[in-house]
Amino acid sequence: MPEWLVLTLAMLAACVVVVVITVVRDRRAPEDEDPSETPDVIEYMTMWIGVVYAIVLGLAIAGVWEARSAAQDHVQAEAQALHEISERVRVYPADARDRIRDDVNAYVGHVVTTEWEWMADNGQVTERGTELLQQVRADVTDYQPKTDFEAQAYQPVLDQMAAADQARNARADSAAPTMPGVVWFGLIGGGVVTIGMIFALQIRRTARELVLAGLFSALIAFLLFLIWDFDAPYSRGITASADPFLSLFPGIKG
């Protein structure tokens, strides 16, 4: 199901639930009930519950957005390191240079054509990708420089190999959702409590109050959906992409 459809249904469902509960409550309310008699302490508690919940939502959104941005940075760092390896080995003999470049291209091709989809579906990288990167590492580390010029390029190539490996490990660590279940329990429970406080204020079935209650509940549903969408950086609506690999290795088709 498309993410936009999930969002629309969630917001509509939140509005419908609030409106239905409000209408049913209004019909069953005693005729002598006076909404103006809501104690001041309830209004005070409702205000602070809303403030606290807004802070929690803001922190959660900031956290998942930062994780999503970091995931894209890992991809950029990995692609750049591999590109540097391909470029820096130009001083090597043709057979060693071509072998390293071919293995780098094989790894990048696997990442963008196979591993990316697997990572989105399963939240982890593939064993085959690890094997291909190990082959690149073996090519780089096993080469013995024969001239001073090659020796000067050897250590920087090793450094870029370490950077690529580190970026891949970071990408693997960020592939799974970052929000623990207990946090989701708090976010959803807090949303229920916050919306429930609307009824503690004895909201009645006027058009203005129903519209405001519906919009408020839809806003909370939207923010929760936003957190859920950002929580998996590689697999949902606004995701980190493999564009750095495709731009630095134009011969690879995603």
Residue 237 to residue 215: CA distance in whole angstroms: 23
Question: What is the model's pLDDT at position 1?
Answer: 55
Single out the residue of 172, 219, 178 nearest to residue 63, CA to CA.
178
The per-residue pLDDT for range 108-165, each reduced to its tens digit, is 999 998 998 888 888 889 999 999 999 999 999 998 888 888 888 899 999 999 999 9
pTM confidence score: 0.74
Q: Which amino acid is at 7?
A: L
Residue indicated by tokens 């919009």: 215
pLDDT at 165: 94
Are 218 and 11 within 8 A, CB to CB? Answer: yes
Q: Report pLDDT digits (tens) over 65-118.
A: 888 888 889 999 999 999 999 999 999 999 999 999 999 999 999 999 899 888
SS3 239: coil
190-217: average pLDDT: 74
Least confident stretch, 40-44, 143-147, 224-228: 40-44
Residue 185: per-residue pLDDT: 86
Is pLDDT larger for residue 176 or for residue 159?
Answer: 159
Both tokens assigned to 107:
């790894």
Cβ burial of 216 (10 Å; 0-12, 13-18, 19+) is middle
Residue-wise pLDDT for 7-27, tens only, equals 677 667 766 776 676 666 666
In this prediction, residue 30 has a pLDDT band, given cuts at 50, 70 and 90, of low
Q: DSSP class of residue 113? A: I
